[in-house]
Chains A and B, each alone.
Chain A
Amino acid sequence: MTSTIRRSSTVAIAVIFCGLLLFTFVRSGGNLGNFGITVLSGLFQGMLLFLVASGLSIIFGLMDILNLAQGTYFMLGAYVAYDIQHAGGVVDLTQTIPNPNVRFPLALIGAVLVGGVLGVVLERGLLRRLYSRPVFQLVLTFGVALVLTEAIKAIWTTTPYSWTEVFGLRTQTFELFGQAFSVYRLFIIGMGFLLIIGIALLLRRTRIGIIIRAGVEDSTMVEALGINVRAVFTLVFTLGCAVAALGGAVAAPFLGASSSLADAFLLQAVAVVVLGGMGSYEGSAVGSLMVGLAIAVAQDATIGTSLSVLPSITPMLVLILILLLRPSGLFGSTR
């Protein structure tokens, strides 16, 4: 029975991908440059989504918690990276490390560290107390998102920041069939792919990966086998938050840092997770690419038209459709 579900899902995925690609190709009138830009843009968007959605999905599968603060960690990563890279703010490294190319990796690392530390604090300090009350867990992650957002606004004000610091990769472009595309974006896409494969390997080949996959199915039984699942919970949660923060940091040169990042990415990530199936890693990877592509196609199709609201509500439409038609998503189990 699982195999028929898998097969129909694979067919559905293939159809949707081909449909989106075909639509874009036709729209671009055979102009490979435009087509390529839209596809790459979709991949880029998809990778960013993956950074938020993968954690969200695994955390939900393992711990039955929908971490509504995941989008906020993304936003936090953007602000921390921005702060480290630029002058002023909480941390100013422009004097000690004058080379912006060196500051940038530090910015990323800083964002990941802050995200990770706050993730541990949140899980151990707060969520642990509420394992037995799932409704309140949802409400609690909501509260954390609120507090974190307000704290960020308090520290960095509500004015959105655009990334002004220039560094190597950011300025380079390359030509694709006559259109210019930023090398940096390609770098992000590449990094995203590496991450997807890396996490997949982690889940399939390592002992901790086996434990996580088993825990997603039945964490009580895993504990009965002599494994401290709570420690695994903390690890997974922390990694999820850290990776989300990385996403924000990596996106910041393009998206800047603003207080609306959290909401936008959270809802999109939730759409991805539901589409892919809660708790399914493959689902979050495939779902991210699909939603990313869908948004890019929608943007391309509606630029300047009266339907320009479409790209912003695409994730919500996807979410609503999936919930109505197949709540378990593409790869989720119909539990």
Chain B
Amino acid sequence: MGQTLKRTLRENWLYALILIGLIAFPFIVGAITGSSPNGVPRGDRMIMRGESVRWQAVLIELFILSILAMSYNLMFGFTGVVSFGHALFFGLGGYILGLALEYVAMDTGVALVVGVLAGVAVCGVVGLLVGLVSLRLSGVYFAIFTLAIAEMFFIYFGRLPLTRAEDGFPITELPIWLDPAQSRLTFYYVALAFFVAVFLFIRRLMNSPTGAVFKAVRENEDRAQAIGYNTLRYKLIAIILAGMIAALAGMLQILLNKKVGPELLGISNTVNPLLMTIIGGIGTFTGPVVGASGLHLLDTILRESVITIGSLSIRIADVWELILGGIFMITVIIFPQGIVGTWQRRRGKRVG
């Protein structure tokens, strides 16, 4: 037993190091900047002021984006299913949890559990239905189909009076220990826990026989079928799992922002994981995380900066999407394996 533990640690020393770093992060930042990881007390509440809590929020957002990107990578990178409707799961998860917390007369703690379970279950079922109905369509058609479905939900929720249409509704009923506006540190660790859990789950899954079939389906679906695999079933599983994980990300997002709105179902929540996965490295374990983290950190750091070329001053915040798109295009054309993929190639390792 000790032997396996030692070997696991040795092979994954970098991951372990990063994990320890992430756990200690709020305190490290707090120590460097002299701010408290718990925020600043005002009266009998804590408010979120100070560098440590600010950076905790940045990292929480990073975890959420990484989870979303990893879910997309599971479906697209590992199994080869091209979907343009991923925002559907992200948004549905968020909406269902939000509805459970705000609209149902339940004790908040219970509502939380019910909401999470319901959201994950519903997204799993939606994934199943969408897959059953449309997986027989070939690649491009399937992608368009998923896009149409997601857009429909986006427009529908954007006009639904129940959820206050395009304004959305705020989350007011949240247990204090989880509220990122009061106990951000706890929420930070919750988000980190989910992040690690999803990462480990996907790694475990892909190293299992099921994962091997996923890869076979991506490589050459006809051959996988000829060998005897029911590729439809495996694609379905990939979509359902990806959908459920995306739902979790959506739930974390509404808790962080304490708001539920139709933008959750908007196209940018499909575009972002797609971009981050490809830039980071499609079909690798760390690719989506690297992509999501790198881009989010870059965005955070550069957001306020201004570039001056001659008489023209450009605010980075205005052109961030343009820069992102540019990086994306360069990646697709020159480094299709992404950051991690290209690095692995250089080192002679097999990808994924």
Direct A–B contact in the complex, CB atoms closer than 8 angstroms? yes
A contact set with B: CB distance below 8 Å = 60, 66, 126, 129-130, 133-136, 138-140, 142-144, 146-147, 149-151, 153-154, 263, 267, 270-271, 274, 309, 312-313, 316-317, 319-320, 323-324, 327
> Nearest chain-A residue to B138 (Cβ)?
A327
Given A139-B332, A146-B328, A154-B318, decide whether A309 and B145 contact each other with a Cβ distance below 8 A.
no
Q: Does B144 contact A (CB under 8 A)?
A: yes
Residues of chain A contacted by B159 (CB below 8 angstroms): 309
Q: Please indicate the chain A residues that have their CB under 8 angstroms from the CB of B144 in the complex.
A: 66, 270, 274, 319, 323
Interface flags, B315-333, vs A, CB<8A=1, else 0 = 0001101101110110011
Q: Is the Cβ of B336 less than 8 Å from the Cβ of A133?
A: yes
Give the A-binding residues of B (Cβ under 8 A). Answer: 80, 82, 84, 133-134, 137, 139-141, 143-145, 147-149, 151-152, 155-156, 159, 267, 271, 274-275, 278, 318-319, 321-322, 324-326, 328-329, 332-333, 336
Question: Is there an interface contact between A130 and B333, defined as CB atoms closer than 8 Å?
Answer: yes
Q: List B contacts of A153 (CB < 8 A).
A: 321-322
The reply to whether A147 and B326 form a contact with Cβ atoms under 8 Å apart is yes
Which residues of the partner chain A approach B141 to less than 8 Å between Cβ atoms?
274, 323, 327
**How many Å from the CB of B283 to the closest CB on chain A?**
12
The 8 closest A-B CB pairs, nearest first, are: A147-B325, A150-B322, A146-B325, A316-B148, A150-B321, A319-B148, A143-B329, A316-B152
- Tell whether, in the assembled complex, residue A323 and residue B137 are in contact, meaning their CB atoms are under 8 Å apart: yes
Cα–Cα, bound, A144→B332 (Å) = 11
Contact status A136-B336, CB under 8 Å: yes
Closest CB in chain A relative to B19 CB, distance in Å: 32
Minimum Cβ distance to chain A for residue B217 (Å): 13
Q: A146-B325, A267-B151 are in contact. Are A138 and B140 (CB under 8 A)?
A: yes
* A316 to B212 Cα, complex, angstroms: 35
Q: Which residues from chain A contact B322 at a C-beta distance below 8 Å?
A: 147, 150-151, 153-154
A151-B322, A309-B156, A309-B159 known; A320 and B329 CB under 8 Å? no
Taken together as a complex, chains A and B put the C-alpha atoms of A140 and B147 apart, in Å, by 16
* Contact among B139, B155, B328, B329 with A134 in the assembled complex (CB-CB below 8 Å): B139
What's the nearest-Cβ distance from chain B to residue A270, in Å?
Answer: 6
Measured CA separation A140–B332 after assembly (Å): 7
In the complex, are the beta carbons of B145 and A320 less than 8 A apart?
A: yes
* Nearest-Cβ distance from residue B332 to partner chain A, whole angstroms: 5
Contacts of B148 in A (CB 8 A): 267, 270-271, 316, 319-320, 323
A324 cross-chain contacts in B, Cβ below 8 A: 133-134
Please indicate the chain B residues that have their CB under 8 angstroms from the CB of A60 in the complex.
140
Task: Point out the residues of chain B lying under 8 angstroms from A316, CB to CB.
Answer: 148-149, 151-152, 155
* Minimum C-beta distance from B270 to chain A (A): 10
Q: Across the interface, do A138 and B321 meet the contact criterion of CB distance under 8 Å?
A: no
Residue contacts A-B, CB under 8 angstroms, 7 given: A144-B329, A151-B322, A274-B141, A274-B144, A319-B148, A324-B134, A327-B137
In contact, B332 and A313 (Cβ under 8 angstroms)? no
Instruction: Choose among A139, A263, A312 the residue with the greatest number of B CB atoms under 10 Å from its CB.
Output: A139
Q: Which residues of the partner chain B approach A150 to less than 8 Å between Cβ atoms? A: 319, 321-322, 325
**With A313-B155, A316-B152 as given contacts, are A126 and B325 in contact (CB-CB < 8 Å)?**
no
Q: How far is the CB of A172 from chain B (nearest CB, A)?
A: 35
CA distance A55 to B135 in the complex (A): 27
A-side contacts of B145, CB under 8 Å = 319-320, 323
> Separation in Å of the B182 CB from the closest CB of chain A?
35
Residue in B closest to A309 when the chains form the complex, CB atoms: B159
* Residues of chain A within 8 A of B143, CB atoms compared: 66, 138
| A63 to B: closest C-beta gap in Å | 12
Q: For residue A313, which residues in chain B have a CB less than 8 angstroms away from its CB?
A: 151-152, 155-156
New contact pairs (19) apart from A126-B329, A133-B336, CB-CB < 8 Å: A66-B143, A129-B333, A135-B82, A138-B143, A139-B332, A143-B325, A143-B332, A144-B329, A150-B319, A150-B322, A154-B322, A309-B155, A312-B155, A313-B155, A316-B149, A316-B152, A316-B155, A320-B145, A323-B148
Residue of A126, A129, A135, A149 touching B139 (CB-CB under 8 A): A135
In the bound complex, residues from chain B placing their C-beta under 8 Å from that of A136 are 332, 336
In the complex, how many angstroms separate the beta carbon of B147 from the nearest chain A beta carbon? 7
On whether A267 and B329 interact (CB within 8 A), knowing A151-B322, A316-B152, the answer reads no
Closest to B143 in A: A138
Q: Which residue of B lies closest to A308 (CB)?
A: B159
B151 contacts across to A, CB distance below 8 A = 267, 313, 316
Q: Which residue in chain A gives the minimum CB-CB distance to B329?
A: A143
Choice from A143, A270, A312 contacting B328 with Cβ under 8 Å: A143
B265 CB to closest chain A CB (Å) equals 13
Give B325's nearest chain A residue, CB to CB: A147
Q: Once the chains are docked, how many angstroms separate the CA of A327 from the CA of B143?
A: 13
What CA separation (Å) do A60 and B139 show in the bound complex? 13
Residues on the A chain within 8 Å of B332, using CB? 130, 136, 139-140, 143
Q: How far is the CA of A127 from the CA of B98 in the complex (A)?
A: 43
User: For residue B318, which residues in chain A have a CB less than 8 angstroms away from its CB?
Assistant: 154
B134, B321, B332 pick with most chain A CB within 10 angstroms: B332
CA distance A267 to B150 in the complex (A): 12
CA distance A147 to B327 in the complex (A): 10
CA distance A66 to B324 in the complex (A): 22
Shortest Cβ gap from A274 to chain B (Å): 7
| Residues on the B chain within 8 Å of A142, using CB | 84, 271, 274
Residues of B within 8 A of A140 (CB): 329, 332-333
